[in-house]
């Protein structure tokens, strides 16, 4: 952009950006009333605003229904029974956070944020809703079999989630799917307490140990099905079954020609990673027939891809698979089950659109009806008995029941008072060209020429940066120019007026799909929703990595509407619909471990809840141990160093080290004086008291 010519405009006497030596307050830009911004000014946060407007702004009714809403207090509420939740049964999310994070002396659990809050009642409702959708479709279409799904444990292998699904799904013969040996072990163990008819689907690549383990499951009277991903796995299954004397139940994964074009469809189509081609399916059937084992082939599995966007694509894939199923039945296989795999999507952005990986254009009922009709049509045409319908709908089951809550700890908001009371005098001392830009900026402001203000501010800043690099400008001058330009940007609400909020979180640990594949999740302040947000912000995490930030949001936003940060913490945000994959995929970037976890269930009182399980997040010692370090030896080494070099303060330093090893890696809002007082108060030994150790161990295993 060419340099702007100086405009000879008289500046009113005494104006000099007519200050009393300090920057004007926000909203007091000296040129009349500024253009109304998209996010209005903070001083007007209460006027003409409502919780309904917040719900619309953050699209809560789109992605959150029927489980999340905004209550009259302006807080996010959880409707754990879905659409059947009565108003008095709603759970205020802020009350849960307060219960979890308040000190034990105040009746809280003393857990540190970030924190994952699980709502098993939501999980139960999701499972019941999925089963009801298929049951209704089966009944209304006269389908002559039933639905029984499985949960793919790879979505979230947490013990209590898997146990909940087995318990809640027992009336519906709901089972589990495993893709590795440890997943198979946990699935086998869990299903010993489940419905005996529940399926245990064994997917993934297999060796002799995997196959042996699956066959042991059949020997333990579990309804185990070994699904062949490659043709050569058949030989392993046959040989191992003969050695163990256990007749297998075998499934095939078909590599369909139907292809899902979105990001999540990369495993679909003829070039997909998994599955058998048509020729390989025929080869397996022929081998089994020669071995007199064709009756063992009982299941056909396929997977179009996660987040199937439309029922048109779904119907196409199911129809193709149903034809393969019918042909296998015609060849004499003992076919009983068609496993449609995963793909049941959820609406992350609330748009109900089939044109985005972040949404889907259907609901549960439409999904189930499409599947049932496609299978029924194919089977009826070829006079094949209707199969049991199985799905592996992990994302749709567990995403809603888990909420990640984290806290903003600071922001990049500029504090004019930090530069003192002499900014105007500093600016008046600028070099001639810069001084001319400054005075032309003030003149444009007086005439309410906001576009011109922005141009002059940009030119002033660039000119001063160059002069600073050349050594012609002092640091206080550059700081004053930055302050002025920041004020102009905020008052006129330019695209540059996006503030960075620093959050007590690791994106890589808790929201890895955002960093890895650009997956968007709804992120919303969980309180102050009765107030008008006044800031456009992005979220920057604690990690020493430039990718550790959230700068894309649902609805195509590059910033998130936020409330003014008051400092000292206390501004809480929630990431919703993240119950699938995020915990399983999260790493240890910068050795930030996982969040604390609480399990919350509804109770009988109005707006009341019960915390039935609580677990602090991994300590510094835990994450160090995960990377092959030995915290106990590290502590002893540092303790000896303290005894050698810090004679008078050795005990206090040693105690501080012990507390550091046992604390979470995330930030804690306490002063240095508080830390030192805690380290020295009542502690006689370097390693801390036995009571402290007992208390810590209790907190790590806390269960209600």
With helix as H, strand as E and coil as C, how does 434-462 read? Answer: HHHHHHHHHHHHHCCCHHHHHHHHHHHHH
- Whole-number pLDDT of residue 16: 33
Taking residue 22's Cβ as centre, other Cβ atoms within 10 Å add up to: 15
State how far the Cα of 513 lies from the Cα of 520, in Å rounded to an integer.
Answer: 8
Label residue 684 by pLDDT band (50, 70, 90).
very low
In this prediction, residue 683 has a pLDDT band, given cuts at 50, 70 and 90, of very low
Instruction: Give the chain's mean pLDDT.
Output: 86
**Residue pair 71/51 in contact by the 8 Å Cβ criterion:** yes
Q: Give the residue carrying structure tokens 């001392």.
A: 429
Least confident of 333-347, 558-572, 672-686: 672-686
pLDDT of 695 strictly over 50: no
- Residue 220 C-beta-side C-alpha neighbours within 13 Å: 17
Specify the DSSP class assigned to residue 606.
T
Spatial neighbors of 415 by CB under 8 A, at least 6 apart, are none
Q: DSSP state, 82?
A: G
Has residue 255 got a pLDDT over 80? Answer: yes
Cα–Cα distance list, 139 to 10, 197, 373, 384, 389 (Å)? 83, 21, 11, 19, 13
Supply the pLDDT for residue 486: 78
Contact (CB, 8 A) for 177 and 150: yes
Confidence category of residue 326, pLDDT binned at 50, 70, 90 = very high
Choose among 123, 215, 211, 247: nearest CA to 174.
Answer: 123
pLDDT of residue 650: 80
- CB count within 10 Å of CB 250 equals 25
pLDDT band at 430 (very low <50, low <70, confident <90, very high): confident
pTM for this model (two decimals): 0.85
Spatial neighbors of 107 by CB under 8 A, at least 6 apart, are: 99
- Which of 202, 544, 655, 701 is labelled catalytic? 544
Residue 112 has pLDDT above 50, yes or no: yes
**Length of the chain in residues, anyone?**
704
DSSP assigned state of 7: P
Angle between helices 672-680 and 650-662 (to 10 degrees): 110
| CA angle in degrees (0–180, nearest 5) for 457-460-462 | 110
Nearest to residue 567, comparing CAs of 420, 405, 407?
407
The CA distance from 108 to 111, in Å, is: 8
Separation between Cα atoms, residue 541 and residue 549, nearest integer Å: 6
Q: What CA dihedral angle connects 316, 318, 324 and 329, to 10 degrees?
A: -140
Q: pLDDT tens for residues 619-642?
A: 999 999 999 999 999 999 999 999
Residue 1 has pLDDT above 70, yes or no: no
- The pLDDT score that the predictor gives to residue 272 is 65
Residues 6+ apart with CB under 8 A from 156: 394, 398, 402, 579, 580, 581, 583, 584
Confidence band (pLDDT; 50, 70, 90) for 482?
confident
Per DSSP, the three-state class of 537 is: strand
Going by pLDDT thresholds of 50, 70 and 90, the confidence category of residue 13 is: very low
pLDDT at 32: 38
The whole-number pLDDT of residue 520 equals 95
Known catalytic residue at 544: yes
Does residue 490 come out as left (phi exceeding 0), alpha (psi in the -120 to 50 range) or beta?
alpha
* 301 backbone φψ class: left, alpha, beta (φ>0; ψ -120 to 50): beta
The first and second tokens of residue 609, run together, are: 């809840």
Contacts of 576 (CB under 8 A, 6+ apart): 63, 64, 68, 400, 403, 521, 522, 523, 524
Residue by residue, DSSP assigns 476-496 as: HHHHHHHHHHHHHHHHHT-TT
* Of the listed ranges 109-118, 287-296, 542-551, 646-655, the one predicted with least confidence: 646-655
Confidence class of residue 266 from pLDDT cuts 50, 70 and 90?
low
Per-residue pLDDT at 569 exceeds 50 = yes
Least confident segment among 235-239, 398-402, 596-600, 674-678:
674-678
pLDDT confidence band for 698 (50 / 70 / 90): very low
Q: How confident is the model at residue 493 (pLDDT cuts 50, 70, 90)?
A: low
């Amino acid at each position: 952009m060419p340099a702007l010519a100086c405009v000879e405009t008289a500046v009113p006497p005494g104006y000099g950006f007519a200050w009393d030596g300090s920057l004007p307050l926000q909203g007091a830009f000296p040129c009349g009333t500024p253009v109304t911004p998209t996010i209005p000014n903070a001083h007007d946060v209460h006027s003409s605003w409502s919780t309904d407007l917040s719900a619309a702004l953050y699209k809560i009714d789109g992605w959150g229904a029927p489980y999340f809403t905004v209550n009259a207090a302006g807080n996010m509420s959880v409707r754990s029974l879905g659409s059947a939740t009565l108003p008095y049964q709603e759970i205020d999310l802020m009350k849960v956070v307060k219960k979890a994070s308040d000190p034990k002396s105040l009746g809280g659990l003393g857990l540190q944020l970030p924190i994952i809050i699980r709502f098993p009642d939501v999980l139960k409702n999701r499972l019941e809703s999925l089963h009801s959708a298929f049951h209704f479709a089966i009944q209304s279409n006269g389908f002559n079999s039933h639905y029984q799904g499985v949960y793919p444990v790879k979505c979230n292998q947490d013990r209590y989630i898997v146990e909940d699904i087995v318990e809640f799904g027992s009336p519906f013969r709901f089972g589990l799917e495993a893709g590795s040996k440890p997943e198979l072990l946990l699935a086998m163990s869990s299903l010993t307490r489940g419905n005996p008819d529940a399926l245990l689907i064994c997917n993934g690549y297999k060796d002799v140990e995997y196959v042996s383990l699956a066959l042991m499951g059949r020997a333990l009277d579990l309804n185990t099905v070994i699904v062949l991903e490659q043709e050569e796995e058949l030989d392993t299954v046959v040989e191992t079954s003969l050695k163990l004397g256990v007749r297998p139940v075998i499934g095939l994964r078909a590599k369909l020609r139907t292809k899902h074009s979105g990001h999540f469809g990369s495993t679909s189509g003829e070039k997909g990673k998994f599955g058998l081609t048509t020729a390989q399916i025929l080869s397996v059937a022929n081998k089994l027939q020669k071995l007199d084992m064709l009756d063992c082939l009982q299941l056909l599995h396929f997977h179009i891809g996660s987040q199937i966007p439309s029922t048109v694509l779904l119907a196409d894939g199911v129809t193709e698979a149903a034809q393969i199923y019918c042909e296998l039945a015609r060849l004499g296989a003992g076919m009983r089950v068609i496993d449609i795999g995963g793909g049941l999507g959820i609406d992350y952005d609330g748009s109900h659109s089939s044109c985005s990986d972040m949404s889907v254009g259907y609901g549960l009922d439409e999904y189930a009806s499409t599947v049932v009709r496609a299978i029924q049509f194919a089977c009826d045409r070829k006079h094949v008995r209707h199969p049991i319908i199985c799905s592996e709908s992990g994302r749709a089951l567990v995403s809603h029941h888990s909420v990640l809550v984290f806290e903003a700890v600071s922001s990049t908001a500029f504090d004019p008072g930090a530069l003192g009371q002499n900014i105007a005098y500093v600016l008046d001392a600028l070099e001639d060209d810069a001084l001319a830009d400054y005075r032309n900026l003030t003149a444009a402001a007086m005439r309410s020429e906001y576009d011109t203000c922005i141009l002059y501010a940009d030119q002033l800043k660039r000119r001063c940066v160059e002069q600073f690099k050349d050594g012609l400008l002092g640091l206080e001058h550059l700081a004053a120019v930055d302050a002025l330009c920041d004020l102009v940007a905020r008052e006129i609400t330019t695209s540059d007026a996006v503030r960075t909020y620093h959050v007590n979180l690791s994106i890589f640990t808790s929201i890895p799909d955002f960093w890895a594949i650009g997956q968007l999740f709804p992120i919303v302040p969980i309180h102050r929703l009765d107030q008008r947000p006044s800031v456009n912000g992005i979220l920057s995490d604690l990690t020493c990595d430039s990718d550790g930030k959230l700068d894309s949001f649902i609805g195509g936003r590059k910033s998130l509407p936020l409330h003014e940060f008051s400092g000292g913490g206390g501004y809480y945000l929630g990431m919703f619909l993240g119950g699938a994959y995020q915990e399983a995929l999260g790493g240890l970037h910068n050795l930030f471990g996982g969040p604390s976890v609480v399990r919350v269930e509804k109770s009988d009182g109005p707006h009341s809840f019960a915390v039935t399980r609580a677990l602090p997040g991994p300590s510094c010692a835990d994450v160090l141990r995960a990377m092959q370090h030995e915290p106990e030896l590290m502590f002893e080494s540092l303790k000896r160093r303290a005894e050698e070099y810090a004679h008078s303060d050795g005990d206090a330093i040693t105690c501080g080290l012990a507390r550091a090893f046992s604390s979470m890696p995330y930030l804690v809002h306490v002063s240095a004086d508080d830390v030192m007082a805690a380290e020295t108060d009542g502690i006689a030994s370097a390693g801390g008291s036995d009571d402290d150790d007992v208390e810590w161990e209790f907190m790590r295993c806390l269960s209600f």
